[in-house]
Amino acid sequence: MTTTLLDVRAVSVRYGRRLVFHGVTFELPEGRCLGVIGPNGAGKTTLLRAIVGLLHPFTGDVRIRGRVPRDALAQVGVAYFAGEATLPGFARAAAWGTLGNGDAITTDQRRLRALSRGTRQLIGLRTVLGRQPLGLVVLDEPWEGLDPDAARWLTSAIELKRDRGAGIVLASHRFQDLAGLCDAYLFILPGESLWVHAHEIAPIGPVTPALLMEAFDRRRGGTPLPRAVL
Amino acid sequence: MSALRETVRFFGVVRPVPRLTRIAFGGITLASSLALALSDASGPRLLLPVLVLQTFAVSTGFVTYARRGHFDVLLTGGVSREQVAIVYWLLVALPGISCWGALAFLEMAVRGHTSLLTAGTLTAMAGVSTIPWATTVPLTRFAGAIGWLLLLVMVAGLAPVDTVTTHLWRRTAGEPSWFTVVAFLLFPTRLVGEPATGNWPAIITVLTVVLTGMGSSVWWISRTSLALETGQ
């Protein structure tokens, strides 16, 4: 029997007068992976920050093992990373790497801003994924900037955490990374959000990037949105 | 690992006070120590540069960095935001407080007494360590210190200088007026070296503002939404 780890009910978030999204509802059991997909500005990052308690929903409720995020963080163990741009560039890479579980993940003494984008991304990911215990992993565009080896390491690390019972929430534009890895998908679209289970996308066999993209396009009205429209 | 240790360790990696500011504190302390040892300069006068630098050092702007995601690892690590805010304030105030302690110790060692541990000095140090920090919490670095300096310049431009000096420098002990209290709030550095006697209204006013500012800032940090404001 699976236990509900994350319960998001009718969550809406506003920035001032602007409604970012509304009515997002889903449950994530332990040991399952959710992929959050949506166009730029749809509110993927905002949703992830609301899940880990950094941001308060305007309406609705987020619960991790039945508790509000701030009360649950210490008990559950949460790995949250929003991308290399969130790392303080003045911090030393070696020192930053010890903030996960105290163990060094790199001996590089340079400041983070002196490293390549991919290296910063990898250090940020390894730091948060090194936390023990780890009940919930929330990663925002985690594959961005990673080289193929690092990307493969990340995918296997996520699978390992999931198989050990952690709940995983991933926001990404990269269908090829999410397809096959996630058990369910949340499409955040302007004005609505849709929860789709993997077997609804691919009744037989794994979800492929093409099937996932087709499902996403179908849910948002059948026609792909034009690219690079501002 | 305890939450407190984790918080202190985090801010040991993500240092809230820039290196240049720490070097400046070291330089000022060294120069003031030499002046104390080699001249008859008074402790309160030598503490003034430390207090001015302290207003800038504590004007760190917590929420700006939190919204850039710099503190995400800490804030999602199960440490309460109230504790993070208080530890953060202690660490940004520590360099200035250390310099003050060093000067007080040195004055005591050289002259056999110190004027840097009076109630007025404690209040002034509390004021400059807290009020600019609390003001800057939702703003960018140095905003509180710059705002305070602008206010001082504006007050000096609006109020006749002899009125200010009458109430501040030549006030009647035990009979402080409302203006004296307001002036001490704007110029807490004038409390340095002053005893408690005759200064209670000013001391109580400054400490009330200190506690109110500290409490409201910690409360605000603990409840504000930290939307990400950085590019990805």
**pLDDT for position B189:** 77
Residue B176 pLDDT exceeds 70: no
Contact A195, A25 (CB under 8 A): yes
**B97 compared with B182, residue with greater pLDDT:** B97
Mean pLDDT over all residues of chain A? 90
**C-alpha span between A132 and B1 (Å, rounded):** 11
Confidence of residue B180 (pLDDT cuts 50, 70, 90): low
Contact A191, A41 (CB under 8 A): no
What is the ipTM for the molecules in this complex? 0.91
Structure tokens at A180: 């096959």
Chain A to chain B Cβ contacts (< 8 Å): 83
Q: Do A86 and B230 touch (CB under 8 A)?
A: yes
Q: What amino acid occupies position B97?
A: I
**A91 compared with A223, residue with greater pLDDT:** A91
Which chain B residues contact residue A92 at CB under 8 A? 13
Domains of chain A: 4-220 (3.40.50.300)
Q: How long is chain B?
A: 232
Which chain A residues contact residue B227 at CB under 8 A? 15, 46, 49, 55
Among B68, B78, B226, whose Cβ lies nearest the Cβ of A54? Answer: B226
Q: How long is chain A?
A: 230
User: Could you read off the pLDDT of A72-124 as tens digits, one per residue?
Assistant: 998 899 999 999 999 999 999 999 999 988 788 888 999 999 999 999 999 99
Output the CA angle A216-A219-A225, nearest 5 degrees: 65
Q: Do A45 and B3 touch (CB under 8 A)?
A: no
Which chain A residues contact residue B9 at CB under 8 A? 99
**C-alpha span between B129 and A164 (Å, rounded):** 47
Q: Do A54 and B78 touch (CB under 8 A)?
A: no
Q: Is A43 left (phi over 0), alpha (psi -120 to 50) or beta?
A: left
**C-alpha span between B75 and A137 (Å, rounded):** 15
pTM of the model: 0.89
- DSSP secondary structure of A23-52: EEEEEEETT-EEEEE--TTSSHHHHHHHHT
Q: Do B76 and A54 touch (CB under 8 A)?
A: yes
What average pLDDT does this structure show over A210-223?
Answer: 83
CA nearest to A15 within chain B: B227
CA distance to B60, B64, B150, per residue, from B143 (Å): 8, 11, 10
Alpha-carbon Rg for chain A, nearest whole angstrom, is 17
Q: Do A54 and B225 touch (CB under 8 A)?
A: yes
Confidence of residue A227 (pLDDT cuts 50, 70, 90): very low
Q: Do B65 and A85 touch (CB under 8 A)?
A: no
Confidence of residue B198 (pLDDT cuts 50, 70, 90): confident
DSSP reduced 3-state for B113: coil
Which chain B residues contact residue A141 at CB under 8 A? 232
Residue B54 pLDDT exceeds 90: yes
CA nearest to B63 within chain A: A54
User: Could you read off the pLDDT of A165-183 as tens digits, one per residue?
Assistant: 999 999 998 889 899 899 9
Among A77, A86, A131, whose Cβ lies nearest the Cβ of B72? Answer: A86
Output the CA angle B218-B139-B8, nearest 5 degrees: 50
Q: Does A128 touch chain B (CB under 8 A)?
A: yes
Mean pLDDT over all residues of chain B? 87
